[in-house]
Amino acid sequence: MKHLFSLIIASQSFLASSQLITGGNNPTDFIANALSSNNVSISNVSYSGYYGAVSYFSANVQNMPFNSGLLMTTGIANIAVGPNNQANAGVDNTNPGYNQLTSIVGAPTYNASIISFDVIPYGDTLKIRYVFASEEYPEYVCSQFGDGFAIYISGPGIIGNQNIAHLPNGVPITLNNVNGGNPGGTGSGISACAATNPQYFIDNGNGNQAPYNSSNSYLQFDGLTVPLTAKSAVIPGQTYQIILAIADAGDGIFDSGVFIEEGGITAGIDENTLDNFVSITYNSSNQLATIKITEYQDNLTYSVVDLSGKTMEQSKIAETTSIDLSDYASGMYLIRVEGSKGQITKKVVR
């Protein structure tokens, strides 16, 4: 374990025989240390939910490359410890759901764990690395029990609260949006269905299968995603608000969890491939911004956003485009270009 080892020993006993170790009683004691890196500053941490549902973790397990970090669950964090020898692991901790996740999963939510904090990034792209896992796999895929996870960001240059936890194709993180299918159904009214976005899904057994049910090098959860990265363009040095939220859907029985990598909240220069085809320049002498496109890209759009998050103008583009800012009030603006290969943003001062 890393720098929180002494905290864990002091605050909660752990299962030393397992290769997933959980510990830590008060989430506000360890969240900032576990998540921050040297290019972000985290403060004003708060937690809403059952205290036993979140934990610091240290891991050396199959299918999940994070060595340590923060575990958030919809029941009790210790249930994540393997082997995967139960088909129905979970605890209803009786906490309420979360309305914003209810709208994503399309069913009533329960047992929400919600962490909020302020973050100051020292780069133009904020990133959060995570893995979503669930005991609802595979039996309850394509049902109302599609648990979900979201990361909401708000702050300068961002319109409202945006959920940045999604697959590269923009689909939110829920049981029904990323899975290996439900080949056999459950026999309780849930029909068999095909896989959805299976390239992002890792099977971890169903609680009765070897080697998952006999080795503590596997998690208890029946399935998990590959490591995913939530990203947002930000203004370096400005303060943003982050909300991490996970909840059960349909009922509060089987648990789901999300692993946030230690030091997994970072800020830097975005390396997405759109940079190879699009550039944004600004000429302060004539107040013209130029979006130069060197190779045609499908579904490109640009927007100009002020620091309050208001979109001043927005349009689709297919070729090199000039934007006249001469009629804009003096101040700072973000010019953002988005497409299927990513997003780039330039800060300009008018």
Residues 180-227 have pLDDT tens digits of 999 877 766 788 899 999 999 999 999 999 999 999 889 999 999 999
Backbone angles phi, psi at 79, to 5 degrees: -65, -25
Measured CA to CA, the distance from residue 121 to residue 279 in angstroms comes to 23
Our separate counts of H helices and E strands in the chain read: 3, 21
Farthest-apart Cα atoms in the chain, separation: 70
State the CATH class of domain 273-349.
mainly beta
Strand partners, 21: 58
Parse the chain into domains and list their residue ranges. 5-268, 273-349
CA 206 from centre of chain: 24
Measured CA to CA, the distance from residue 177 to residue 173 in angstroms comes to 6
Q: Hey, what are 183's tokens?
A: 């080949």
Measured CA to CA, the distance from residue 89 to residue 222 in angstroms comes to 9
> Any idea how long the chain is?
350
Measured CA to CA, the distance from residue 253 to residue 136 in angstroms comes to 9
- Locate all alpha helices (DSSP H) within the chain, ordered by sequence: 5-11, 27-35, 99-105
pLDDT by residue for the chain (350 residues), tens only, comes to 333 333 333 333 333 344 787 776 567 777 877 887 778 999 999 999 999 999 999 888 888 888 889 999 999 999 999 999 998 899 999 999 999 999 999 999 999 999 999 999 988 899 999 999 999 999 999 999 999 999 999 999 999 999 999 998 899 999 999 999 998 777 667 888 999 999 999 999 999 999 999 998 899 999 999 999 999 999 999 999 999 999 999 999 999 999 999 989 999 865 555 766 788 888 877 889 988 887 667 789 999 998 777 889 999 998 889 999 999 999 888 898 988 777 778 888 88
